[in-house]
């Protein structure tokens, strides 16, 4: 009886997550079109780099979304350790997956831009490139760790702690171009954004739409994981703590 009660409460949370995601999807629809218009039409062509500079809007939008996803891993992991609610563990896992997706976009668009501008695809000696690659590997390792541990609360606790420690690389990635010698451009400085007006608008739209897309994807992925948990609970009776 109590198992069913817990599952009903979990089912309510899933429905709320799916409703919020669907609502946000409608906000994201015009926002993404506006961001694409900003990137390709509104923003002026950069004088030296030319059209390839437009990749920057995808690159930085994805980087901000990746940082936000890993912050969510940190926050959800901390809340899981504090409250012990399974929902936060699933949110953390979803954020890791989305963070890896956005970091992969960053790592793919960077070299395409760098080849004509820096005359090299991937300068591994560059601190920004290296720390970003390490960030990607840390969270790929999170998934490997998660898949290799036996099911249960101990696994969720270990993953939460690993996610919290893994997040520590995010400020290092952000500061790497300020701490060490690098050829990577510094866009955000003490004097604000080093961009022309139209480029700033395009960047804000790109960042906004990337963050909205991240939220939609995390909500969808987490609710799918939780639906799987409810189905498992219906079949076997779940030893976890969805009543908390």
Which residues here bind other proteins, judged by CB under 8 A? Answer: 1, 4-5, 7-8, 11-12, 14-15, 18-19, 21-22, 25, 28-29, 32-33, 36-37, 39-41, 51, 216, 220, 223-224, 227, 230-231, 234
> Among residues 57 and 80, whose Cβ is nearest to other proteins?
57
Render the burial of 197-208: b for 16+ CB within 10 Å, e for the rest. Answer: eebebbbebbbb
Cβ atoms < 10 Å from Cβ of 5 = 11
Asked if 114 contacts 55 with a C-beta cutoff of 8 angstroms, the reply is no
H/E/C letters for each residue in 95-107? Answer: HHHHHHHHHHHHH
Helix (H) / strand (E) containing 189: strand 188-189
Q: Which residue has the tokens 């409460």?
A: 9
């Amino acid at each position: 009886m109590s198992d069913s009660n817990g599952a009903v409460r979990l089912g309510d949370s899933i429905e709320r997550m799916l409703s919020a995601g669907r609502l946000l999807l409608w906000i994201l629809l015009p926002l993404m079109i506006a961001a694409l218009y900003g990137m390709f039409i509104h923003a002026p062509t950069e004088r030296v780099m030319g059209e390839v500079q437009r990749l920057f809007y995808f690159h930085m939008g994805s980087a901000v979304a990746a940082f936000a996803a890993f912050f969510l891993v940190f926050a959800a992991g901390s809340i899981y350790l504090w409250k012990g609610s399974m929902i936060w563990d699933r949110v953390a896992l979803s954020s890791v997956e989305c963070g890896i997706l956005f970091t992969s976009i960053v790592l793919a668009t960077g070299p395409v831009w760098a080849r004509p501008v820096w005359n090299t695809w991937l300068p591994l000696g560059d601190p920004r490139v290296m720390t970003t690659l390490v960030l990607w590997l840390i969270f790929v390792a999170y998934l490997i760790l998660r898949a290799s541990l036996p099911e249960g609360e101990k696994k969720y606790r270990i993953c939460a702690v690993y996610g919290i420690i893994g997040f520590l690389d995010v400020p290092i990635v952000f500061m790497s171009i300020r701490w060490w010698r690098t050829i990577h451009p510094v866009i955000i400085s003490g004097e604000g954004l080093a961009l022309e007006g139209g480029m700033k608008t395009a960047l804000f739209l790109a960042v906004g739409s990337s963050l909205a897309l991240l939220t939609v994807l995390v909500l969808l992925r987490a609710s799918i994981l939780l639906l799987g948990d409810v189905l498992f609970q219906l079949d076997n009776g779940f030893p976890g703590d969805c009543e908390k």
